[in-house]
Amino acid sequence: MRWASVVAMEQSERDGFLAAARVAADLVRRPEVSEGWSDESACAGMSVGGLACHLATQSDLAVRLLQAGPSDLVPIPLAEHYAQAAWVRGAPDDAANVGIREGSDELALSGPSALAALVESRLAALPAVLAAVGPDTPVLIPWQGWALTARDFLVTRLMETVVHSDDLAVSVDLPTPDFPDAVVAPVLDLLTGLAVRRHGATALVRTLARPQRAPATVAAF
C-alpha cells in the first residue's frame, strides 16, 4: 500500500481527480438534492444541503489550497495525517465532528443555486490548478496545522468525494454514482491501509476471505 509520493504525478491522476469532481458536481446539482435540501441526510445531524455543500467543498478546497502556494512545512505521511486528525479519533458528538456538520449546514443556508455556482467555478479552475502543481509540493492543511504532499492531499479529497457521494445519493434515494478506476483505486488503497492500521491484517483478510471468522467491523474510521 502506497503512503508516500514516489513517482511524478501522472496525467491519469489529474484526470481522475477531475472525473471525481465532475461526478460529485452532477450529483449535488440533481433536483432530488434541491428538493430535499432541508431534510436530514444519511449523515445524522447534517442536512441534505449541508452534506451537498460538504461534498462540493472538496473541489473548492483543492483549488484554494493548491493555489495558495507551497508550504514551508515538511509534509507528513498520509497515514500519520489520519492518525493525528481529531475528527478520526473523536466520537460523532465530539467538537471536531460537530463543527464539520454545523459548518456544512451553515454553508447550505445560501441554497442550491449558490452551491451550483461555486461548483461551476471550481470545475472551470481545476484543470489549470492541477496542471500547475507538482506531486511532492507541500500543501498546508490549515485546519490541521500540518502539510501533506499535493498527491496525498488529493487522495484525501478523493476519499471524501467517493464516501460522501454515496452518503448523498442514499440520502435522496438515488443510485450511488460510479467512479472510474483512477478514482476508486487510491481511495481503496487509503481505506484498506487505515483499516489494517486500526484492526490488523488478519481482521481484514478474514473479512474478505473467511467471513465465518471475521470481526464485527473493519471500518477505517
Distance between CA 67 and CA 84 in Å, rounded? 25
Lowest mean pLDDT of 48-52, 58-62, 87-91, name the range: 87-91
Cα angle 51, 54, 59; round to 5: 140
**Helix 48-67 vs helix 11-28: angle between axes, to the nearest 10 degrees?**
150
Q: Which CATH class is domain 11-177?
A: mainly alpha
Q: What is the pLDDT of residues 90-112, one digit of tens each?
A: 777 778 788 888 999 999 999 99
| Residue with grid cell 464516501, as numbered in its chain | 163
Q: What is the pLDDT of residues 127-183, one digit of tens each?
A: 999 999 999 999 999 999 999 999 999 999 999 999 999 999 999 999 999 999 999
In terms of Cα–Cα distance, which of 168, 164, 143 is closest to 153? Answer: 143
Distance between CA 119 and CA 162 in Å, rounded? 16
What is residue 7's predicted lDDT score, i.e. its pLDDT?
40
Where residue 61 falls among pLDDT bands split at 50, 70, 90? very high
What is residue 9's predicted lDDT score, i.e. its pLDDT?
58
What is residue 54's predicted lDDT score, i.e. its pLDDT?
96
The whole-angstrom distance between residue 217's C-alpha and the CA centroid of its chain comes to 21
In this structure, are residues 171 and 48 in contact, taking their beta carbons and an 8 Å threshold? yes
**pLDDT, average across residues 14-23:** 95
Cα angle 19, 23, 27; round to 5: 165
Label residue 55 exposed, middle or buried (CB < 10 Å: 0-12, 13-18, 19+): buried
Q: What is the pLDDT of residues 114-133, one digit of tens each?
A: 999 999 999 999 999 999 99
